[in-house]
Amino acid sequence: MRADCGNCFGLCCVALTLTRSADFAVHKDAGKPCRNLQEDFRCGIHTRLRTEGFAGCTVYDCFGAGQKVSGETFGGRDWRTAPESAQQMFQVFPVVRQLHELLWYLTEAASLAPARSLHGEVRRSLEETERLTRLDADALTDLDVATHRDGVAALLARTSELVRATAPRKKKRSHRGADLIAARLGGADLRGADLRGACLIAADLAGADLRLADLIGADFRDADLSGADLTGALFLTQSQLNAARGNGATRLPSSLSHPAHWDR
């Protein structure tokens, strides 16, 4: 569930649409290779993405879907040497990417002791999601991934409730889907908070306590996590951290790492 770009055909650089913005220096339509993609499927400005205006590329994570589609679904046939497969490959990639993201969350859910009563359901959902990732290209093209995702989301929400109930705070306010752009939450006690899908763009979370907070889908672009405690935070991903600002004092789950661009 970790991207291995060396075994991928640059799918995120071709299959996805780029919209010119603060995250991308150019506009690119889906199915058109990025101008920085080389013949060997490597990025020509990988070490300079942020300075060249492609910060959005540094926060994207396919959760390992790229190598799965390249090496397994299409058996190592790339879209350049087998152009007849290109359109379907570009359709399949976003589907498998969604499934792999679900695998990341379900794997975490299966490890959370306070939700052990749900572990049987979680393991079955994990196995089914993994099975779906191994369908052939035609089946993946026709897959109703949204319906499957809704079922997993409901299970993850139940898991979250059981885990967050162990947080010491007496009142656990819900900020699900809240507009918290540039919110001043520095030093806030957010233990056990529901921040699912919250928009925290440019929010001040310096020194905040986010232990046991549900962060699935939260938008941390340019949020300040300096000195914040995210140990035990639920469903946090590396891409969320890559989009934020932080420093060496930011405490993270052991499965994640401090982004290279953070101040040390």
Task: Please report, in tens digits, the pLDDT of each residue of the chain (264 residues total).
Answer: 888 999 999 999 999 999 999 899 999 999 999 999 999 999 999 999 999 999 999 999 999 999 999 999 999 999 999 999 999 999 999 999 999 999 999 999 999 999 999 999 999 999 999 999 999 999 999 999 999 999 999 999 999 999 999 998 666 668 999 999 999 999 999 999 999 999 999 999 999 999 999 999 999 999 999 999 999 999 999 999 999 999 999 999 999 999 988 975
Q: State the pLDDT at residue 1.
A: 81
**What tokens does 12 get?**
């995120």
Cα–Cα distances in angstroms (integers) from residue 74 to residues 68, 125, 148, in the given order:
9, 25, 23
Phi, psi (deg, nearest 5) at residue 89: -60, -40
User: What pLDDT, on the 0 to 100 scale, is given for residue 168?
Assistant: 86
Per-residue pLDDT at 171: 64
- Return the amino acid letter for 159: T
How far apart are alpha carbons 85 and 93 in whole angstroms? 12
**Alpha-carbon distances of 50 from 42, 59, 262, rounded to whole Å:** 16, 10, 12
pLDDT, position 95: 98
What does residue 152 show for φ and ψ, rounded to 5 degrees? Answer: -65, -40
Which residues, 6+ apart, have CB-to-CB distance to 205 below 8 Å? 185, 186, 188, 223, 224, 225, 228
Burial class, 39, CB count within 10 angstroms (exposed 0-12 / middle 13-18 / buried 19+): exposed
216 and 105 Cβ atoms separated by less than 8 Å: yes
> Out of 3.10.450.750, 3.40.50.300, 3.40.50.10490, 2.160.20.80, which CATH number does the structure's domain 170-264 have?
2.160.20.80
Residue 132 is predicted with a pLDDT of: 98
Alpha-carbon gap, residue 69 to 134, rounded angstroms: 9
User: Hey, what amino acid is at 258?
Assistant: H
Structure tokens at 129: 């999601």
Look up residue 29 and give its amino acid.
D
What is the reported pLDDT for 172?
A: 63
Counted residue by residue, the chain has a size of 264
Task: Report DSSP state, residue 73.
Answer: I
In single-letter form, the type of residue at position 174 comes to S
Give strand pairing partners of 209. 189, 229
- Residues in Cβ contact with 33 at an 8 Å cutoff, skipping those fewer than 6 apart: 10, 13, 14
Distance (Å, whole) CA 144 – CA 46 = 34
* CA–CA separation, 54 and 156 (whole Å): 32
Output the pLDDT for position 174. 84
Quick check: 163 and 114 in contact, CB under 8 A? Answer: yes
Q: What is the DSSP letter of 84?
A: G
Ranges in the chain annotated CATH 2.160.20.80: 170-264
